């Protein structure tokens, strides 16, 4: 995707239309404002199909619509999509009154307004030890993902990228039912034995905003990617090896995806001109289920407040995919480091947080007194390595600037005459999520460079026209002291270098959204963390580069950060696991990832979460921990779930019988079940309200040696006693599943905060760990006295 830098200008036009803006988990801190839509497009969701023949399902949709609109002709003109493969429903242009009438029709589960969602390397796979020379590793055992099909719902694909050549790829599987949909600058020849399917969806988007203008060459009415984001995520998940890949000479090396032998199916649902329609997204889910994908990689979602699961298109589409055996992987969002900001929280989804890798981009700042300081940048401009005067933003404040605003270089706060031709030092304010506003400000006043002192983070932003170096507050303060004590302070910058293995990783990224879930706090989210900071992958050369006054040569590879980049790492790993364990359910695969994840960095220290300040990471930062692909091959035990678990979950969430029955195509009678949410067979136990004592249960399935004995080890959350019964599990040829109970006793007599622990099952070889999360509450804590 184009970065959020471009998106912000696009958002302004979207707000004019008063459309809900659902934030894609893309770059650091995208806009998260949400407004109710004033829309003509509505999605009529009717749950599971009532007919096996898609034509009959479509006919039923036209019948419902014609009863409202008065004729079959009007119905055909109004309808945009008929969802008839994975589930039943349609998207149509309707007035509010017509939508209300349809909502009362028999068989209609929900009528929801269309929403527009705006869009959220090499070294990362080596860092994860996904390497071909490890004989018993996941890449070797899965034969690089042969047999798996990864569907990517995003901005499309640049088919000419070397990452998508089909050399060495097997023939298209006979089970594949997808198509190669032609369009602008995209024909059947652009699909091959790597890109085996490509579709594009624009009806919902155009119904909101009018016809897309593609004459300027910044978008294509086809699967071709004009934004770059879809090409980046697809190549991260499954790109073929490309030698000497780099971003303007940086991060040079062999670029490859996690499952390079997996097939790719592309579903273009997002547009570089500003967003992704939920009507289009649901159509893509519907087609992907029919086409036969094994994994869906989806870097989309709605920021809090989160809609109900039965009203959220992404939750609905993923529910139907998962119940048909398709793993759905989604990004956790980029609203960190604040709690309760995690998105895509349905228990059937694998929700991915972003972490760092051990690659850095050090850039030396040389002061006029020959002293040096080090920051991070992507500075490759050889003609800009001379000394320039350096000034502090607050010292060159424009007339009328609010007191203190120039120190952070807010928009319009700098005196253009005093800033021109100089390097400006700015300090991040608490209201700034990143350096983007400061960079725009110094570009507007024709400054020679920017040094931005900020909360410590390893995420590096880009500047195409002037040197831009990020430092922490300590280095920023040293520069400020130099400015104050020198009559003619000057600085210059060295060219950025690539350094591998010189920074401790992984750490949870500053921007990565945090739990607990604001919709279902008993379901731990995120599930897992994976690399999402400074990731090098293929790019669309047609993508306009954000905030570039003069466009550099087109990029074939680009470095991006976001949980959008973390998501396809897990998608690739899931494809590898599917190739090794083709019969495992989506829940079993998620369990394998969570229970084998690491809590330590590469030096054996506890993983840290970036923030203000940094802290020891906990399950609300990274779920089960940082992904360890090679251990996930053989987890020993799995916490499995299926269809009945999910519909009981919907019951426990308070949704009514008819709605759930329509969704599941089963006659459901929700029965009140005490603590069902706590007993949902997740690979974690989260108790958001522990009142003195609670007993929960879990069932594990042995997928290791037939005759195994596991012993429990408890690391109890602070302030809690935990007892596991039985404390040993005995498996043999006839006993593959066993149930155990965990009883929590609160030691606290005051209102508590969340505390964290672990339950481990050990057999001498496997360590099967799930996180324990508990918050004690006092029953009458808020009662009036």
C-alpha distances (whole Å) from 574 to each of 92, 463, 591 are 35, 35, 11
Among candidate residues 408, 522, 543, 564, the one labeled active-site is 564
DSSP E strand boundaries for 201-331: 242-247, 250-255, 263-268, 270-271, 275-277, 295-298, 327-331
Q: What are phi and psi of 729, to 5 degrees?
A: -120, 130
The DSSP element (H or E) to which 77 belongs, if any, is: helix 72-78
Cβ–Cβ under 8 Å, residues 633 and 595: no
Residue 564 bears catalytic tag: yes
Task: Burial-class residue 329 by CB neighbours within 10 Å (0-12, 13-18, 19+).
Answer: buried
Query: Using omega within 30 degrees of 0 as the cis cutoff, is the peptide bond preceding 174 cis?
Result: no
Residue 154 falls in the annotated catalytic set: yes
Q: Where are the alpha helices (DSSP H) in 305-382?
A: 313-323
- CA-CA distance, 561 to 120, in Å (whole number)? 10
> Within a 10 A sphere around the Cβ of 261, how many other Cβ atoms?
22
Pairing type for strands 608-609 and 507-508 reads parallel
Q: Whose structure tokens read 């990565």?
A: 512
- Token pair recorded at residue 340: 């309760």
DSSP string covering 163-192 = GG--TTPPPPPTT----B--BTTB-GGG--
Run of H or E residues at 708: strand 708-715
Specify whether 229 is catalytic: yes
CA separation for the pair 605, 616 (Å, rounded): 10
Closest Cα partner for 561 from 452, 459, 432? 459
Contact status, residue 538 vs residue 507, Cβ threshold 8 Å: no
Evaluate whether 691 touches 739 at the Cβ level (below 8 Å): no
* Choice among 42, 118, 148, 154 that is catalytic: 154
CB of 759 closer than 8 Å to CB of 773: no
* ω into 516 cis (within 30 of 0): yes
Q: Which of 42, 61, 85, 229 is catalytic?
A: 229
Active site residues per annotation: 154, 229, 564
């Amino acid at each position: 995707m184009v970065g959020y830098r471009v998106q912000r200008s696009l958002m302004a036009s979207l707000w004019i239309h008063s459309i809900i803006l659902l934030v894609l988990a893309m770059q650091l801190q995208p806009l998260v404002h949400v407004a109710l839509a004033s829309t003509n497009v509505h999605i009529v969701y009717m749950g599971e199909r009532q007919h096996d023949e898609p034509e009959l399902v479509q006919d039923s949709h036209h019948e419902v619509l014609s009863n409202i609109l008065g004729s079959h002709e009007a119905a055909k003109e109004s309808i945009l999509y008929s969802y008839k493969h994975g589930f039943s429903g349609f998207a149509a242009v309707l007035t509010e009154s017509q939508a209300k009438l349809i909502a009362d029709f028999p068989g209609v589960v929900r009528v929801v307004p269309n929403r527009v969602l705006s869009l959220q390397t090499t070294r990362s796979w080596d860092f994860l030890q996904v390497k071909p020379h490890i004989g018993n590793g996941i890449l070797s055992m899965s034969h690089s993902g042969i047999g798996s099909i990864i569907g990517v719902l995003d901005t499309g694909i640049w088919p000419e990228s070397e990452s998508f050549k089909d050399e060495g790829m097997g023939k298209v599987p006979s089970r594949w039912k997808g198509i190669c949909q032609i369009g602008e600058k995209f024909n059947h020849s652009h699909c091959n034995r790597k890109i085996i399917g490509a579709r594009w969806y624009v009806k919902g988007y155009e119904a909101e905003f009018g016809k897309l203008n593609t004459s300027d060459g910044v978008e294509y009415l086809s699967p071709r990617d004009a934004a770059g984001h879809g090409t980046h995520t697809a190549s991260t998940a499954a790109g073929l090896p490309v030698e000497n890949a780099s971003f303007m000479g940086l991060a040079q090396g062999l670029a490859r995806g996690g499952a390079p032998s997996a097939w790719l199916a592309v579903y273009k649902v997002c547009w570089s001109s500003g967003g992704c329609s939920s009507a289009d997204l649901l159509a893509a889910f519907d087609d992907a289920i029919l086409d036969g994908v094994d994994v869906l990689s989806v870097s989309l979602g709605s920021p809090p407040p989160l809609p109900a699961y039965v009203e959220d298109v992404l939750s609905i589409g993923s529910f139907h995919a998962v119940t048909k055996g398709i793993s759905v992987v989604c990004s956790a969002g980029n609203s960190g480091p604040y709690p309760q900001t995690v998105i895509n929280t349905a228990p059937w989804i694998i929700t991915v947080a972003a972490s760092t890798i051990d690659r850095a981009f050090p850039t030396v700042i040389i002061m006029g007194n020959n002293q040096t300081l080090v920051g991070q940048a992507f500075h490759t401009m050889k003609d800009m390595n001379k000394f320039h005067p350096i000034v502090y933003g607050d010292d060159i404040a424009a007339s009328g600037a609010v007191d203190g605003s120039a120190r952070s270089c807010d928009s319009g706060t700098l005196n253009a005459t005093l800033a021109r031709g100089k390097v400006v030092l700015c300090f991040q304010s608490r209201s700034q999520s990143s350096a983007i506003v400061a960079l725009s400000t110094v570009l507007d006043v024709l400054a020679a460079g920017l040094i931005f002192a900020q909360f410590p983070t390893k995420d590096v932003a880009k500047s195409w026209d002037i040197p831009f170096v990020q430092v922490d507050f300590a280095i920023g303060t040293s520069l400020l002291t130099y400015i104050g004590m020198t009559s003619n302070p000057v600085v210059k910058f060295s060219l950025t270098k690539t350094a591998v293995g010189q920074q401790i990783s992984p750490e949870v990224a500053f921007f990565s959204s945090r739990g607990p879930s604001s919709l279902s706090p008993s379901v731990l989210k995120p599930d897992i963390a994976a690399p999402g900071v400074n990731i090098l992958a293929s790019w669309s050369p047609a993508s306009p580069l954000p905030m570039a006054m003069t466009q550099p040569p087109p990029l074939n590879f680009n470095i991006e950060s976001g949980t959008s980049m973390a998501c396809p790492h897990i998608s690739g790993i899931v494809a590898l696991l599917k190739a090794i364990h083709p019969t495992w359910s989506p829940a079993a695969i998620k369990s394998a990832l969570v229970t084998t994840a690491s809590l330590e960095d590469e030096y054996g220290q506890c993983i840290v979460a970036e923030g203000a300040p940094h802290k020891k990471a906990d399950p609300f930062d990274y779920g089960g921990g940082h992904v360890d692909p090679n251990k996930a091959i053989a987890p020993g035990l799995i916490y499995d779930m299926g269809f009945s678990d999910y519909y009981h979950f919907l019951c426990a969430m308070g949704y009514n019988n008819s709605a759930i029955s329509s969704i599941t195509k089963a006659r459901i009678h929700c029965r009140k079940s005490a603590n069902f949410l706590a007993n949902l067979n997740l690979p974690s136990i989260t108790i958001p309200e522990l009142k003195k004592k609670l007993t929960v249960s879990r069932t594990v399935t042995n997928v290791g040696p037939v005759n195994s004995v596991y012993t429990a080890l408890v690391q109890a959350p602070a302030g809690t006693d935990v007892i596991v019964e039985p404390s040993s599990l005995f498996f043999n040829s006839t006993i593959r599943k066993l149930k155990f109970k965990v009883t929590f006793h609160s030691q606290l007599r005051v209102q508590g905060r969340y505390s964290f622990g672990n339950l481990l099952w050990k057999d001498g070889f496997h360590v099967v760990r799930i996180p324990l999360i508990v918050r004690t509450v006092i029953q009458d804590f808020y009662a009036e006295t």
